[in-house]
Amino acid sequence: MPFFSLHQAQQCFFLYSPKPLSKFPRARTLFFLCSKMSSNSNSLQNYPTPLSPPLPSISKDIELARAMSASSKSSLFGLSRSDILYEDEWLIAVNKPQGIYCDTILASVPRFLSGSAPSDRLCEGNQASTLELHLANRLDRDTSGVMVITKSHKVASVLVKAFTNHKVQKTYVAFCIGSAPKSERITIKSGHGRSKFGAWRVYAAGDVGRKLPGGSIVRDMETTFEVLSINGQQNYKEQSECMEDEEHSIVVEEKAVTDVDANKDEILVRAFPRSGRTHQIRLHCQYLGFPIRGDVKYEGVYEWKGRTYDAHELHAESLTFQHPVTGFPLLIQAPLPLWASQALQLLTD
């Protein structure tokens, strides 16, 4: 039997069989399986480290209950005239309610178009039976706001490319609980990707392009936040207004330091995502220390001031883009949900 060096032995797994092989009746059998441990272990050690916390243990059961509730609500959902924000022969824009899946919205469009009276329609274009409907953008289950659906493959191709190339300007409004930022305007740049457990996490900006478990890579993400109010104080600024205050820029390279004993403030923010990564705004709010209220997946409070929140409070306020057919600029804006309008009402009282 050949001898193995210590280094070779460390790279092998040995299996011993008490039963002899048929070709060697007098010998008991020793199997060994060699592995490429050196390359695999090195690659594991070289994966970038996520800088945002893992999913809280409380989130699993709560998210499951929310998903079941959303499935029930979605099965009963049907578009109404009040949900339609814009329509022409190429596009239809919808104000997606909180707790409804995007695919439910898409499936309900043909029923709405075929079942609505002519007086209820914004456009008398293609019939519902001939439409080739596509989601131009997606929103998380519990995020409300503007969703655009195209009516043909060709238009879908053009608009999806505009989203991919960051040619679409997006604004969101979020209600957060945490430590109030010192600046009224913050831009944060970081990496984005899935950790080895499949959860979306914040990574260092310097890790962009590096490989992650599963074969994906860290991608860049950038969000600008404008603080609209803190604990009901501060002037509300219209979306079109430009803030003159100096912008505070953060390039993420290390884990955030959060003071767990600090007072928690109620913060209303408007977000301008300049990339379109999954859970981008939610992740950046978590990293900055003011997670979105109700967002248990990213450390948002589940209970606040005696009330339990069944969903996170994030609203896709507007989309601005060049019309894929006419070329004219198009602004589609959704009315604010009750939680946002109530927060803004406090500023004007």
**Domain boundaries in the chain?**
68-111+130-165+320-338, 169-236+246-312
What is the predicted pLDDT for the residue at 237? 56
Residue 133: partners with Cβ closer than 8 Å, 6 or more residues away: 106, 109, 110, 149, 150, 151
DSSP strand pairing (185-194 vs 219-230): antiparallel
Distance CA 1, CA 30 (A): 10
pTM: 0.81
| Cα–Cα distance measured from residue 294 to residue 25, given in angstroms and rounded to the nearest whole number | 69
Q: Give SS3 for 83.
A: helix
Label residue 24 by pLDDT band (50, 70, 90): very low
Fold of 68-111+130-165+320-338: Pseudouridine synthase (3.30.2350)
pLDDT exceeds 50 at position 10: no
**Nearest partner of 187 among 274, 58, 260, 289, judged by Cα:** 274
pLDDT, tens digit, for every residue of 30-72?
433 334 444 444 445 689 999 999 999 989 999 999 999 999 9
In tens, the pLDDT along 61-106 reads 999 999 999 999 999 999 999 999 999 999 999 999 999 999 999 9
The string over 117-126, giving b where at least 16 C-beta atoms fall within 10 Å of a residue's C-beta and e elsewhere, is: eeeeeeeebe
Residue type, 92: I
Reply yes or no on whether the pLDDT at 275 is more than 50. yes
The alpha carbon of 22 is separated from its chain's Cα centroid by a whole number of angstroms, namely 59
What is the overall mean pLDDT for the chain? Answer: 84
- pLDDT tens digits, 259-273: 777 789 999 999 999
Q: Tell me, what's the pLDDT at 217?
A: 95
CB 177 within 8 A of CB 291: yes
Mean pLDDT, range 234-250, rounded to an integer: 62
Residue 38 exposed, middle or buried by CB count within 10 Å (0-12, 13-18, 19+):
exposed
- The predicted pLDDT at position 348 comes to 66
Q: Reduce the DSSP state of residue 193 to 3 states and report it.
A: strand
Residue 145 φ/ψ region, left for φ over 0, alpha for ψ in the -120 to 50 degree band, beta for the rest: left
Q: Which pLDDT score is estimated for 336?
A: 95
| pLDDT greater at residue 31 or residue 167 | 167
Query: Is the pLDDT higher at 341 or at 318?
Result: 318
**149 pLDDT exceeds 50?**
yes
Cα separation, 159 vs 168, in Å, equals 9
Is the pLDDT confidence value at 18 over 80? no
- The answer to whether 283 touches 132, Cβ cutoff 8 Å, is no
140 annotated active-site: yes
Which of 140, 142, 207, 295 is catalytic? The answer is 140
Per-residue pLDDT band for 225 (boundaries 50, 70, 90) equals very high
Residues 35 and 43: beta-carbon distance below 8 Å: no
